[in-house]
Amino acid sequence: MILYAFRRLLESVVVLFAMSLVVFLSVYAIGNPVDILVSPQADAQEIERAIRGLGLDRPLWEQYAVFLRQAAAGDLGHSFAFNVPAIGLILERMPATLELAGAAMLVAVGLGIPLGLWAGLRPESASAKAIMAGSILGFSLPTFWVGLVLVMVFSVWLGWLPASGRGPTTDLLGVPVSFLSREGLRHLLLPAATLALFKLSLLARLTRAGTREALAQDYVKFARAKGLATRRVVGVHVLKNILVPIVTVIGLELGSVIAFAIVTETIFAWPGMGKLLIDAIGVLDRPVIVAYLLVTVTLFVLINLVVDLAYSALDPRVRLAEARA
Amino acid sequence: MTHDDTLLRRLAADFAASRLALAGLALLAAIAAAAILAPWLAPQNPYDLAELDLAASRLPPGARSADGTTFWLGTDGQGRDMLSAILYGLRISIGVGVAATLLALAIGAAVGLVAAWAGGRTESVVMRVVDLQLSFPAILIALVLLAVLGPGVGKIVFALVAAQWAYYARTVRGAALAERRKEYVDAAVVLALPRARILFGHLLPNVLPPLVVVATVQVANAIALEATLSFLGLGLPVTEPSLGLLIANGYAYLLSGKYWISFFPGVALATTIVAVNLVGDRLRDALNPRLAQ
């Protein structure tokens, strides 16, 4: 187990290194930021100075070497557009994104698993069929359009909830959060619901499929034959067995929630790092794009590592397969 | 052949047992027909500037223009009939989605088959790359590629293929590993048939069912992904307005209460994706042996 953990950790480091190269090369192939940052009236000298100031006159491999050395020291370059450290910009926006993603996951898990369990236990009932049909809608409707419809109904027509921004924030251990004030919660509700809908449907379907398969297994029949109460059979025997894949999926979907937050943040002008990325792509602010990608890649690699380790700890079959490999 | 016939017939019967899935199939056929026949169905050519009348811009659904035509779904900021724009947009959205899916399927299936057949180091290297790519969300991969490449039809198809080929490679490899142990493969090897013929003539047809299910779901994903990227301004150029671009253009008007400019293209997009998913969902259930009665 320790050997496996060590090997997985080493693998993660290699992946991070490879991704930094891919990200750097691809992002530095985009257009010429000088065209956008220097005013069209600038003379040749000013353009020259800007190019040198941004380090764009040096060969690409040298730029990468500098980038890597500075990245190791926690410096991912200065934003071309804001002239402040890119990593600072990202970290400053990160709590907003994590709050949004966390709220969405909470909604998805809190509603998705109970709905899926209900639908799996009574597959022929009308309510189960309604849940399944609703879940098809939930994972079919594109996230951005769900956001638009929610804005249309709740902000434009009914005027109940704000359509953009984060509202006032309260400091929680030095980190600004929205969910502690009424006004902040009102701002959080629509974006979180938009982001949650897809995951909610996915979890409901997954839980239903798992429940249906588990109910047909001998151990459930045996538990029933023993005369155990339905509540105990479902709550202990069924739930425990379907929870392993569900927990894995929740872990893996965390990364995708952060990626999809890009869309939600753009619609609701939520000041997170996803909106920062889209703005940075618009003005070719390379250091910010690179910093965003490296931060999210690191997050994903970390999440995958934790999920893999948790999985092998929870499921002995995975551990044995790994030991043999 | 008889084995195939009965399998297909059982699948068809299984599929037809769900009224919802049949409705999805009918809906899908209608949408595809509307997209293909758009130039003949649409009241106007929305991209022929001579047919547009700025005086008729931002009219609500059901309004009539000066010359007596009715705009059933209203008009946009340039006086374009939304119904026509949606029909043309469907063509582009479905075209891009299907093209990207077929390309990704071809590439992914070839890679998966070869990996399963080669085994050893080739297989483990290929599957490492596949697993690595699948650990990143497709939208992030496509978004970064498009940020690098810029907008364009060819570029978005490329980005969608790059974001999705790995799903097919994994599916095909899994199915092919199970198939290659069977006797018909041994027989083909003993007959000394060319390797390409064994792979694509014998193995491929037998791994098609799971591949078809994945492809159905992925068409829906490709269409949704393209719409999302176009909405973010990273997908198609304004000269090729897919449904996502129409929705993005209407977003500015949404906040002032002119909902129809982005609402109806969204309904068309959502209906298409729901129809595809209804069909794909039922296909998956029909093919899942663990749920067979």
Looking at residue B237, what is its pLDDT?
79
Contact B143 A262 (CB under 8 A): yes
Number of domains into which chain B is organized: 1
> β-strand A175-177 against A170-172: which pairing, if any?
antiparallel
At B106 the pLDDT is 92
Query: pLDDT tens for residues A148-164?
Result: 889 888 888 887 888 77
Q: Which of B224, B276, B281 sits opposite A142 (nearest CB)?
A: B224
Torsion sign (Cα): A137, A142, A147, A152: negative
Instruction: Specify whether A96 is located in the same domain as A63.
Output: no
Q: Which domain holds residue A38?
A: 2-72
What is the predicted pLDDT for the residue at B1? 44
Contact B263 A259 (CB under 8 A): no
CB hemisphere CA count around A65 (13 angstroms) = 5
Domain contains A200: yes
Q: Which chain A residues are Cβ-neighbours of B136 within 8 angstroms?
A: 255, 259, 297, 300
Residue A140's CATH number:
1.10.3720.10
A196 and A59 within one domain:
no
Q: Could you tell me if A41 and A126 lie in one domain?
A: no
Query: A42, A72, A102: which is the final residue of a domain?
Result: A72
Helix residue ranges per DSSP H, chain A: 2-27, 33-37, 44-53, 60-72, 86-121, 126-140, 143-150, 182-215, 218-225, 230-232, 239-268, 273-282, 286-314, 316-324
Residues of A in contact with B259 (CB under 8 A): 152, 156
Same structural domain, A55 and A99: no
Helix (H) or strand (E) holding B155: helix B153-179
Indicate yes or no: CB of A145 within 8 angstroms of CB of B145.
Answer: no
Short-list A134, A131, A140, A107, CA closest to A257:
A107
Residue ranges in chain B modelled with pLDDT below 70: 1-7, 49-56, 62-63, 65-68, 79, 288-293
| pLDDT value of residue A39 | 63
ipTM field = 0.79
Amino acid at A278: I
Q: Same domain, yes or no, for A57 and A205?
A: no
| H or E element at residue A270 | none
Q: B178, B17, B154, B7: which is closest to B95 by C-alpha? A: B154
Q: Based on the domain organization, do A91 and A61 belong to the same domain? A: no
pLDDT tens sequence across A71-113: 777 777 778 778 788 888 888 888 889 999 999 999 999 999 9
User: Would you give the DSSP letter of residue B60?
Assistant: P
Q: Which residue among A15, A31, A156 places its CB closest to the CB of B254?
A: A156
What is the residue range of B101's domain? 3-292
Q: Which of B158, B167, B232, B269 to mutate to test the interface with A (most CBs of A within 10 A)?
A: B232
pLDDT tens readout for residues B1-55: 445 566 677 777 777 777 888 888 899 999 998 888 878 877 777 777 666 666 6
**Total domains present in chain A:** 2
Which of A144, A284, A292 to mutate to probe the B interface, most B CBs <10 Å? A144
- d(CA A145, CA B267) in angstroms, rounded, equals 9
Same domain, A194 and A143: yes
Residues A67 and A125 in one domain: no
Of A72, A96, A113, which residue is a domain's last? Answer: A72
Q: What is the CATH number of the domain that holds B229?
A: 1.10.3720.10
Contacts of A133 in chain B (CB under 8 A): 20
Considering the domain architecture, whether residues A112 and A20 belong to the same structural domain is answered as no
Dihedral angle of Cα A78, A80, A82, A85, to the nearest 10 degrees = -10
- Residues in chain A, pLDDT under 50: none
Which string of DSSP letters, residue by residue, matches A61-104? HHHHHHHHHHHHTT---B-TTT-SBHHHHHHHHHHHHHHHHHHH
Using CB atoms, pick whichever of B137, B150, B270 lies closest to residue A141: B270
* A122: in domain: yes
Q: What is residue B158's predicted lDDT score, i.e. its pLDDT?
A: 93
Burial zone of A51 (CB within 10 Å; 0-12 exposed, 13-18 middle, 19+ buried): middle
Task: Give the integer Cα–Cα distance in Å for A206 and A191.
Answer: 24
DSSP annotation string for B67-134: TS-EETT-B-TT--BHHHHHHHHHHHHHHHHHHHHHHHHHHHHHHHHHHHHH-HHHHHHHHHHHHHHH
Mutation target for A interface from B121, B148, B246, B285: give the one with most A CBs within 10 A: B148
Same domain, A117 and A68: no
Distance, in Å, from the CA atom of B279 to the CA atom of B92, rounded to the nearest integer, reads 21
| Chain B residues with beta carbon closer than 8 angstroms to that of A281 | 147, 234
Phi/psi of residue B59, each to 5°?
-80, 140
pTM here is: 0.83
Contacts of B147 in chain A (CB under 8 A): 27, 30, 281, 289
The residues, any chain, with a CB within 8 Å of residue A198's CB and separated by 6 or more, are A138, A139, A143, A260
| A80 located within any domain | no
**What is the pLDDT, as a whole number, of residue A8?**
81
For residues B112 and B211, the answer to whether their CB atoms sit within 8 Å is no
